[in-house]
Amino acid sequence: MHDVKTSVFVGVSLDGFIARPNGQFDFLPAGGGEPHGYAEFIATVDVIVIGRKTFEIVLSLPEWPYGSKRVVVLSSRPLDLSVVRGRPVEQMAGIPAEIVAKLAAQGARHLYVDGGITVQNFLKAGLIQRITITRVPVLIGSGIPLFGPLEQDFRLQHIATQTYASGLVKSEYQVLYPGE
């Protein structure tokens, strides 16, 4: 099996939320806001792995945001994927290491993992290498957090931070797992 890289690329409120309590993310700049590297990032990704809750929100968007990229939706319950007929969307479930191993065996080289719970599970399993967080200058007070409780600390190496005229602050980190 060849190496597969796993990344997170996410926008958060300054107080660390990826969505409001109802799942909406209207506090993020419309249309992705000032270009901050998403197009360049997504061009390097071959499989997008999202949690079921993110998938439900994506379905409510006016346009399918992933183009012709392969999308894997994680859920422990049967999903009705007929709503995305014609798109390369499939369902998987199980422990993150097995999901990554399966995708790697199928030739995937760069996975984009998205959704709060999903990111947390992959991180705890030691399967996220890069985290790029774009902080949006707004406080929303409550919502769905990007990160959550951990049984141990995770150290990260700061790679780069860029600031944008519109107030976005993008920071890229490498996750350092034990032994690194």
Ligand X SMILES: NC(=O)c1ccc[n+]([C@@H]2O[C@H](COP(=O)([O-])OP(=O)(O)OC[C@H]3O[C@@H](n4cnc5c(N)ncnc54)[C@H](OP(=O)(O)O)[C@@H]3O)[C@@H](O)[C@H]2O)c1
Residues that bind ligand X (CB under 6 A): 10-11, 18-19, 23, 25, 28, 50-54, 57, 74-77, 93-94, 96, 114-118, 121, 144
Q: Between 131 and 179, name the residue whose CB sits nearer to ligand X.
A: 131
Smallest distance, ligand X to C-beta of residue 173, A: 16
Q: Between 4 and 50, name the residue whose CB sits nearer to ligand X.
A: 50
**CA 173/CA 119 separation, integer angstroms:** 14
Smallest distance, ligand X to C-beta of residue 73, A: 8
Smallest distance, ligand X to C-beta of residue 101, A: 13
Smallest distance, ligand X to C-beta of residue 47, A: 14
Q: Between 30 and 180, name the residue whose CB sits nearer to ligand X.
A: 30
DSSP character string of the chain: ----EEEEEEEEETTSEEE-TTS--TTSPGGGSS--SHHHHHHT-SEEEEEHHHHHHHHTSSS-TTTT-EEEEE-SS---GGGGTTS-EEEE-S-HHHHHHHHHHTT--EEEEESHHHHHHHHHTT---EEEEEEES---SSSEES----SS--EEEEEEEEE-TTS-EEEEEEEE-TT-
Name the residue number minimizing CB distance to ligand X.
51
Q: Between 66 and 110, name the residue whose CB sits nearer to ligand X.
A: 66
Smallest distance, ligand X to C-beta of residue 158, A: 20
Q: Between 4 and 144, name the residue whose CB sits nearer to ligand X.
A: 144
